[in-house]
Structure 1
């Protein structure tokens, strides 16, 4: 069998998911080569660009290294820019090389469209790539820097006027972020908030036109609260370096026009000699094959396909990429291996829009059964959906960094939970607590160790069997333990937990003669060793997070057995406090963990499973 070459052009949402699905299907097939071509070494989270552009998250939060995504997977990632495709010869021409294929997947995504408006492309800031977001952020900062020292009022007002063109998802999210960021910028650059003017402009009669009116009203109310003026029914007729003309609704003098007024297919698709429709989108059949070439498949934004029973083509949304990728991977697999192809029957579950980091709206459900959400619940759903996608792309690694960027490292309380998770304090404040808890556990363990060594059968850490013989040695030991417990007030245990513990004790630790099993001796010995080990770990600050978790677990076991004094509450509370990196200050974790982290990331299955943090 000749080798089959599958080439995917574009490392966006659709391209990456298709490559991963194909790699999984052909992971044991040496006769299939999978190649992904993109001109950048990373995937950009296009739906999160506004967060970087408006200073809510750091620049690296919207990028994922392609090498990381495809580590130890059967995908050859090539950095090159495709210039032309010879469909008849099955050859892809690029700037650095040419590439043959048997099956081609077009996943080049979209780009902004300017509708032929004079000056729109030349004088506006786009928001469609990592570079766009970074450049826009720097431009906004520079406008505030210059405005802070500009004595001319007219020039200063132009610098502090920001116009977003487009009242769809991207436009509303961008202006919402600016509305939140404005407060921080004014504070940092000593500017009166009243001097900053924010506008969102759209030619349609309302913003977010695909949303129901009640959600639109909530969006408008939120934007107004953020100081945003909404101008609808205003078609842009011209953009210059210092203004934007709103048709018959006048002109806004500004140095900053952000374009979010629509998208079209990439120029590469536009130049293809292949049937297209609807702003450079490739017309496909129900199997997502090009109508002109059966070996050319299309995913994501590049698809022009009207599902059965629908009037409009599939939308250019992330969910379309997620739905189309596995179907294309399946159909290519069937082309090579045989079987039945599937037809594309997408089910779209709505859309979510965040208006800054603290408020959002969402329209969710299934056709005919949609419902609206706003505020906390809408943002919660948005973050959850993002995590589901990121888990598909880069697993635990990306999900962890996403949570850090969105909740734990957030500034100015710009998240759905405010700044509660972001209130970090230096770990050196935890050093005295860590040493104290470590000393107490070590003391407990060392006091019990002689008893274990002298007589392992002397059980004193496990409650006495309810049917113990008063004359037995086990009963005597249990009596001594009971007296010790009675000397202090034990913490109460709920009845249902007590029943579970009683059952487990009877199953594993009590024998039929009213005594203890060998397993009880082993358990008690392990508990004493664990107390000593936890004490040493906390004192040394080595694997302190693990030691803290073990401290909590031992405290919970002692409590559930009905033998925990009230001071056990201190162990539990302290253990929770010490989990978060308490050994990184004046502890061995400071030296050991970075070395282990570098070693861990080199392991093949760790890279493939994304089981590491950056």
Structure 2
């Protein structure tokens, strides 16, 4: 009797969890031994993290227990941290053990890309996990409390967000909504609070429709945000940020959302990568490794226009579906499916009741775009957890 093939999935982000759930659905019992490895025992919804980071929602609403999503008769879950990937031995080294595999799925997510800007790694915070957003929320509240003890320190009330992409824009929308309540709670004059959004590119939300970008910036400006567009951060210190135009913004709160790179373990494993991202083949496999699939932030997929797709939740979800199909095809020795990304639309929230989006060739903004954003989030809850998860979490989205 031939041995049952072993599939190891590293990471329970969008790509990893969708791959696992699809394998759970498509594989027969005892057709493969599937193991899902994740640092935490929960899957967190990255596209919702900007809300608990600003304090407009509880962080619990952004996470879901992995054991409540998977069928433990089909998927083994291992809570551990990956230390090393050894492709030559077909082994994954964990902090507390070793796993052997026949097929490997790498979905380890991304890390902040600092582009070599001095001090960013040491002095800026990042919206990248449940723990980091909890820290950001508590830090912001602490700044208001500290200001009450040292009323001359207006740098406590100055907040700098580096990067005007999706994460940066969505976060400052929520932060701008939260500030009036914080001012009320701590008896602080709202006029003293400053929120800066700094972006090196010539526009906010690069690649978005210019009309919608203008609308977004207008909404956020009216909420009190000051934009510094086409202005790079030259250095981040313990006292604030030095801008390329010579201005220094004094601040005790710098939040960096300006870039993502793939997990460093990918490069350390010997894969040819660009900023930690591997240019996968049409079946999502790493070049030269027919048994290794890469999804999410660690993968690089080129569009028909010969440009890399940005690493979004939407593309990772679609990769998870195709990755699972190709794992099944590999095991059953049937044909594999080529990955073709199909955009279902893009929506960016701007705080409560406000958003912008593009669906097909239609542009939406304001209230209806905000409702569309909620529908997208609820649809994802349904995909991973069905109606029970929608009923439990949907009201918070």
TM-score, scaled relative to structure 2: 0.97
Q: Which residue of 2 aligns with 1:10?
A: 11
Q: Which runs of 5+ in 2 are unaligned?
A: none
Report the CA distance between 1:292 and its aligned residue.
Answer: 1.5
Q: Which residue of 2 aligns with 1:402?
A: 393
Secondary structure of 2:3 counterpart? coil
Describe the superposition over 1:157-184 as per-residue Cα deviations: whole angstroms up to 9, x where unpaired. 1000001000100111111111110110
Residues 167, 249 of structure 1: alpha-carbon distance in 2 compared, 3 angstrom cutoff: farther
Instruction: Check conservation: 1:92, 1:98, Cα contact below 8 A.
Output: yes
Distance 1:351 1:129 in 2: 22
Q: Which residue of 1 aligns with 2:25?
A: 24
Equivalent position to 1:200, from 194, 197, 201: 197
Equivalent position to 2:284, from 267, 281, 288: 288
Q: Give runs of aligned pairs for residues 570-585 of structure 1, distance below 5 A.
A: none
Q: Give runs of aligned pairs for residues 46-61 of structure 1, distance below 5 A.
A: 46-61=46-61
Q: Give runs of aligned pairs for residues 168-183 of structure 1, distance below 5 A.
A: 168-183=165-180
Q: Which runs of 5+ in 1 are unaligned?
A: 407-614
Describe the superposition over 1:368-415 as per-residue Cα deviations: whole angstroms up to 9, x where unpaired. xx2211011111111111111111112223212333324xxxxxxxxx
Runs of 4+ in 1 over 3 A off after TM superposition: none
Distance 2:312 2:353 in 1: 23
Within the alignment, does 1:333 sit opposite 2:328 as a pair? Answer: yes
Distance 1:402 1:56 in 2: 15
Within the alignment, does 1:376 sit opposite 2:367 as a pair? Answer: yes
Secondary structure of 1:313 counterpart? coil
Q: Higher relative contact order at CA 8 Å, sep ≥6: structure 1 or structure 2? A: 2
Secondary structure of 1:295 counterpart? strand
Q: Give runs of aligned pairs for residues 82-481 of structure 1, distance below 5 A.
A: 82-151=82-151, 153=152, 155=153, 157-277=154-274, 279-307=275-303, 309-365=304-360, 370-406=361-397
Distance 2:305 2:124 in 1: 35
Moved more, 137-146 or 297-306: 297-306
Secondary structure of 1:205 counterpart? coil
Report the CA distance between 1:72 and its aligned residue.
Answer: 4.7
Secondary structure of 1:264 counterpart? strand
Residues 398, 350 of structure 1: alpha-carbon distance in 2 compared, 3 angstrom cutoff: same
Size of the aligned set, in residue pairs, is 396
Distance 2:31 2:227 in 1: 57
Distance 2:273 2:141 in 1: 41
Instruction: Check conservation: 2:87, 2:269, Cα contact below 8 A.
Output: no
Distance 1:249 1:206 in 2: 20
Secondary structure of 2:6 counterpart? strand
Secondary structure of 2:359 counterpart? strand
Report the CA distance between 1:128 and its aligned residue.
Answer: 0.7
Distance 1:223 1:306 in 2: 33
Larger-gyration structure (1/2) = 1
Report the CA distance between 1:73 and its aligned residue.
Answer: 5.0
Report the CA distance between 1:249 and its aligned residue.
Answer: 4.1
Distance 1:339 1:198 in 2: 55
Distance 1:269 1:338 in 2: 27
Instruction: Check conservation: 2:111, 2:260, Cα contact below 8 A.
Output: yes
Distance 2:344 2:73 in 1: 31
Distance 1:120 1:313 in 2: 25
Secondary structure of 1:108 counterpart? coil
Residues 286, 196 of structure 1: alpha-carbon distance in 2 compared, 3 angstrom cutoff: same
Secondary structure of 1:388 counterpart? helix
Instruction: Check conservation: 1:35, 1:77, Cα contact below 8 A.
Output: yes
Distance 2:309 2:118 in 1: 30
Secondary structure of 1:171 counterpart? helix
More helix by share: 1
More strand by share: 2
Instruction: Check conservation: 1:234, 1:249, Cα contact below 8 A.
Output: no
Secondary structure of 1:343 counterpart? coil
Instruction: Check conservation: 2:102, 2:291, Cα contact below 8 A.
Output: yes
Distance 2:265 2:287 in 1: 18
Secondary structure of 2:341 counterpart? coil
Distance 1:361 1:405 in 2: 19
Secondary structure of 1:70 counterpart? coil
TM-score, scaled relative to structure 1: 0.63
Q: Give runs of aligned pairs for residues 603-614 of structure 1, distance below 5 A.
A: none
Secondary structure of 1:237 counterpart? strand
Distance 1:71 1:135 in 2: 33
Report the CA distance between 1:208 and its aligned residue.
Answer: 0.7
